[in-house]
Amino acid sequence: MMDRKISPASLESCKDPLKASKYFAVPDKLSDIFLVLIRIGILVSLIASVSLALHLAFSKPTRWFPLPDHLQVSHNVSDTAPTNMSHILFGIGGSVNTWQERSCYSGLWWDPNTTRGFVWLDQKPKYDVSHFLVPYQISHDWRQFRHVHSDYAVRIARIVYESFKLGLPNVRWFVMGDDDTVFFPKNLVTVLGKYDHREMYYIGGNSESVEQDVMHAYGMAFGGGGFAISYALAAQLANIFDSCLHRYYYFYGSDQRVWACVSEIGVPLTKESGFHQLDIRGDPHGLLAAHPLAPLVSLHHLDHLQPLFSNQTHIDSMKTIIHAYHLDPYRIMQQTFCYDPKRRWSISISWGYVVQIYTSMLPAKDLQTPLQTFKTWRSYSDGPFTFNTRPMSSDPCKQPALFFLDKVQEVRSSGTVTSYKRFVHAEAKKCMAAGINPEEVERITVSALKLDPNYWKNVPRRQCCRVMDGGSIKDGSLRMRIRKCRTRETVTIRQL
């Protein structure tokens, strides 16, 4: 048994909580030189367009840059072994200006021994990259595309195509992400393993904020949450990609371009609820304390949100989560709830993250609904979101008591004990004094068997939990156990 206190140390390159970089900066005032340049540019593009038109008229090109021959043949169709990490090729959208700072995000989850892929940069970095885990590639041939907004988005969209063109062996899935996306790779393998890479799949998630889905598309995989393109789809996309980019020159984002091109092939988005664009503002804990019953695949926009743990920096919060993920990857952030019938408490556990105690009996349908501790992405409104929420009371006495992950232990390689420590913000103290909040509990200790990845191959069913020792509190600690539900077991409250 190993007992580890989580005390995250900062990574060298992650001293500051990360700031959003601005790729889309536009100069305030166009100087005369700019105007001259623009005129020359227009003339050059006019000549280029005329010659291109002539070229197109007298030739029959299927793509702008021919693919190497070995990529034209379809993938080995008898390749039916189960999907594993080696079949995934990651393509991370980066740039030399931001990579130094943002590489600490991929540094959290990238395992140089098992993860394949590259960060794609706009030019060769002048700084030392020897300590970065993710190897880089330089994007090619992206400057000549027509665009209204930043050509950065054109370049990032082309990563799918450029990754495919590398022609690396045994790639089944091309997975795209931003340089600030945190992936949970084992869960990604579990999710992609459900699908046949020889069919055309486009897998990901959309935005949590309805306003974003309305503005972009509900059927689009938002790039920050990451998305996966099967080999079969990538091969089809490669045939049209560059001409397609040209057609959607007026789009803003790279993910929107990929979506538009995939639409031309006629493939819809397969939604998986473990991909998280996290287009929300404020405190994400309400959402992640009630994660959908699906493996956690990715988190994004962490630098735009409050840290996951109120007491830790952004990067240290993520290290704490990743630490728990390594112990029981398939269970991370899975929600379980149960009741202390004697005290009439409802207890919700988001494994490896947070425990909430309500001093009332809340039915399952409420406990599984996220508390709205956040706002929408664009307008900072109270909704709508693409899922239901419960309002979070501004009265601290009506908020659940929070216990954040503090210690993790592995037990005989098949189980875990996780310990969650009470977090009391200043205002909540008076509620405790008034006896409204459970004052006597300082710590929740949760034991569980590690979740088998095959769990996710079955029809999902939430696991059950129970309060141990008849609910007695020893040294301020309440013990809980998570286990498979018995066949006829339910989380029913007999007297509401």
Ligand X SMILES: *[C@@H]1O[C@H](CO)[C@@H](O)[C@H](O)[C@H]1NC(C)=O
- Return the CA Rg of the chain: 25
Minimum CB distance to ligand X smaller for 86 or for 313: 86
Contact predicate 287/370, CB 8 Å: yes
Q: Shortest gap between Cβ of 78 and ligand X (angstroms)?
A: 5
Residue 316: beta bridge partners?
A: none
The pair of structure tokens assigned to 30 is: 């166009």
Counts for the chain of helices (H) and strands (E), in that order: 12, 22
Please identify, among the stretches 77-85, 99-107, 221-229, 250-258, the one whose residues bind ligand X according to the rule CB under 6 A: 77-85
**What length does the chain have?**
496
Please identify, among the stretches 17-25, 26-34, 78-86, 464-472, the one whose residues bind ligand X according to the rule CB under 6 A: 78-86
Angle, in degrees to the nearest 10, between helices 96-109 and 314-327: 30
> What distance in Å separates the CA atoms of residue 387 and residue 384, rounded to the nearest whole number?
8
- Which stretches within 266-382 are classed as H helix? 285-288, 314-327, 364-367
DSSP 8-class letter at 258: H
Minimum CB distance to ligand X smaller for 383 or for 453: 453
> What distance in Å separates the CA atoms of residue 69 and residue 66, rounded to the nearest whole number?
9
Minimum CB distance to ligand X smaller for 198 or for 450: 198
Minimum CB distance to ligand X smaller for 293 or for 424: 424
Minimum CB distance to ligand X smaller for 309 or for 345: 309
Q: Which of 141, 144, 89 is nearest to 119 (CA)?
A: 89
Minimum CB distance to ligand X smaller for 428 or for 482: 428
For ligand X, which residue of 7, 59, 78, 487 counts as binding (CB under 6 A)? 78
Minimum CB distance to ligand X smaller for 113 or for 492: 113
Residue 381 near ligand X by CB under 6 A: no
Minimum CB distance to ligand X smaller for 86 or for 137: 86
Residues in contact with ligand X, counted by CB under 6 A, come to a total of 13
Residue 231 near ligand X by CB under 6 A: no
Residue 421 near ligand X by CB under 6 A: yes
For ligand X, which residue of 13, 21, 86, 273 counts as binding (CB under 6 A)? 86
Footprint on residues 393-412 left by ligand X (CB under 6 A): 404
For ligand X, which residue of 10, 144, 311, 393 counts as binding (CB under 6 A)? 311
Please identify, among the stretches 81-89, 188-196, 200-208, 323-331, the one whose residues bind ligand X according to the rule CB under 6 A: 81-89
> What distance in Å separates the CA atoms of residue 416 and residue 145, rounded to the nearest whole number?
53
Residue 76 near ligand X by CB under 6 A: yes
> What distance in Å separates the CA atoms of residue 308 and residue 78, rounded to the nearest whole number?
44
Residue 93: beta bridge partners?
A: 120, 178
Q: Which of 366, 374, 338 is nearest to 492 (CA)?
A: 338
Residue 72 near ligand X by CB under 6 A: no
Minimum CB distance to ligand X smaller for 113 or for 458: 113
> What distance in Å separates the CA atoms of residue 324 and residue 448, rounded to the nearest whole number?
13
Q: Shortest gap between Cβ of 85 and ligand X (angstroms)?
A: 6
Contact string (CB under 6 A) for ligand X, positions 251-290, x = contact: ----------------------------------------
> What distance in Å separates the CA atoms of residue 17 and residue 123, rounded to the nearest whole number?
25
Residue 131 near ligand X by CB under 6 A: no
3-state secondary structure of 158: coil
Footprint on residues 95-114 left by ligand X (CB under 6 A): 111, 113
Q: Which of 277, 272, 284, 238 is nearest to 258 (CA)?
A: 238
> What distance in Å separates the CA atoms of residue 232 and residue 71, rounded to the nearest whole number?
11
The pair of structure tokens assigned to 92 is: 């991370």
Q: Shortest gap between Cβ of 439 and ligand X (angstroms)?
A: 15
Please identify, among the stretches 28-36, 80-88, 159-167, 326-334, the one whose residues bind ligand X according to the rule CB under 6 A: 80-88
For ligand X, which residue of 3, 79, 196, 382 counts as binding (CB under 6 A)? 79
Residue 84 near ligand X by CB under 6 A: yes
Please identify, among the stretches 29-37, 79-87, 152-160, 271-279, the one whose residues bind ligand X according to the rule CB under 6 A: 79-87
> What distance in Å separates the CA atoms of residue 268 and residue 103, rounded to the nearest whole number?
32
Contact predicate 180/18, CB 8 Å: yes
Minimum CB distance to ligand X smaller for 70 or for 365: 70
Residue 477 near ligand X by CB under 6 A: no
> What distance in Å separates the CA atoms of residue 285 and residue 293, rounded to the nearest whole number?
16
Minimum CB distance to ligand X smaller for 230 or for 389: 230
Contact string (CB under 6 A) for ligand X, positions 147-186, x = contact: -----------------------x----------------
Kind of pairing between the strands at 182-183 and 298-299 = antiparallel
Label residue 167 left, alpha or beta by phi (over 0 means left) and psi (-120 to 50 means alpha).
left
Residue 423 near ligand X by CB under 6 A: yes
Binding site for ligand X (CB under 6 A): 76, 78-79, 81, 84, 86, 111, 113, 170, 311, 404, 421, 423
